[in-house]
Amino acid sequence: MSAMELTDAKDVTLPSATTTAVAQAAADAATAVSGRTGALSVRNVEASYSGVAAVRVTNLDMAPRKITAIIGPSGCGKTTLIRTLNRMHEVTPGARVTGRVELDGHDLYGTNVDRVRVRRLIGMVFQRPNPFPTMSIFENVAAGVRLGGIKKTEPLADTVERSLRHAALWDEVKDRLKKRATSLSGGQQQRLCIARALAVDPRVLLMDEPCSALDPIATARIEDLMSRLKDDVTIVIVTHNMQQASRVSDSTAFFLMSDDGAGYLVEAGPTQQIFSAPRERLTEDYVSGRFG
């Protein structure tokens, strides 16, 4: 990834254009060789509300183009954690983050990093579908592009169609693009929100319990979609549904609340291992439904 993708070019004072360009070329070459893009790393992160820690993570890596599930009981900081990954946490008044979150090796909390660009690279889908209610289906997806401040490289209609196809919704809506987004079913609205997030070509998609308001059929469609999307984007999904975590994810991270009320990572690893042979007794109890 180019560091410039994260920074607002006009605000950046480069120490030496040449050194930076050389370092950047090396970084780009390394990315090209390894093909690793969309890797997220959390290092010594603590997120708090009004001085009270909500979650702490020493080390957590989310592999590129894979699905990482975040599981754990209510209140252990799952939502807070994923909101630190695209710098949404700090928007809450009194909320603070310390530590590093790296996307392909670049610290998202570094100086000169533009938060708007971070959110373009790391999109988010919420528990309840939240399309813009007064806008049409078309405009909802187009809004992703407009709000993302994307330079247009193709006609907007093409971007909208591509995003809706990518979100497996095109066939259901192609004849009603001018209808309000709220005329869609819950599952369709959630796929519309995914299309809106995909329209700006993100590296990572964060999903916070994306199926909890959906019926099993709509849930299955979103799960299918996730499996297809991971060819293009890294996915981090928070879920309370253990079957869902074990069905869709490649890796799982299990959180609990510590005595001081802040969430912490108990263990993370390949999903199959976490569910069949976890290292920690606490994990085994949780995934087998013995508590939580």
Tell me how far apart the alpha carbons of residues 35 and 31 are, in angstroms, rounded to a whole number: 5
Q: Which residue's CB is nearer to ligand ATP, number 7 or number 252?
A: 252
* Per-residue buried b or exposed e for 222-251, using 16+ beta carbons within 10 Å of the residue's own CB: bbebbeebbeebbbbbbbebbebbbbbbbb
Binding window for ligand ATP (CB under 6 A); candidates: 29-37, 78-86, 96-104, 229-237:
78-86
Does residue 278 belong to the site contacting ligand ATP (CB under 6 A)?
no
Does residue 49 belong to the site contacting ligand ATP (CB under 6 A)?
yes
Q: Which does 148 bind (CB under 5 to 8 A by kind): Mg ion, ligand ATP, none?
A: none
Does residue 77 belong to the site contacting ligand ATP (CB under 6 A)?
yes
Q: Which residue's CB is nearer to ligand ATP, number 188 or number 239?
A: 239
Max Cα-Cα span within the chain: 58
Tell me how far apart the alpha carbons of residues 218 and 210 are, in angstroms, rounded to a whole number: 11
Does residue 126 belong to the site contacting ligand ATP (CB under 6 A)?
no
Q: Least CB distance from residue 266 to ligand ATP, whole Å?
A: 13
Q: What is the DSSP letter of 151?
A: P
Tell me how far apart the alpha carbons of residues 196 and 111 are, in angstroms, rounded to a whole number: 28
Q: Which residue's CB is nearer to ligand ATP, number 77 or number 129?
A: 77
Question: Which class for 15: exposed (0-12), middle (13-18), buried (19 or more C-beta within 10 A)?
Answer: exposed
Q: Least CB distance from residue 245 to ligand ATP, whole Å?
A: 13
Q: Least CB distance from residue 81 to ligand ATP, whole Å?
A: 7
Q: Which residue has the tokens 């549904």?
A: 241
Q: Least CB distance from residue 234 to ligand ATP, whole Å?
A: 20
φ and ψ at residue 114, rounded to 5 degrees? -90, 120
Contacts to ligand ATP by CB under 6 A: 49, 54, 74-80, 92
Contacts to Mg ion by CB under 5 A: 79
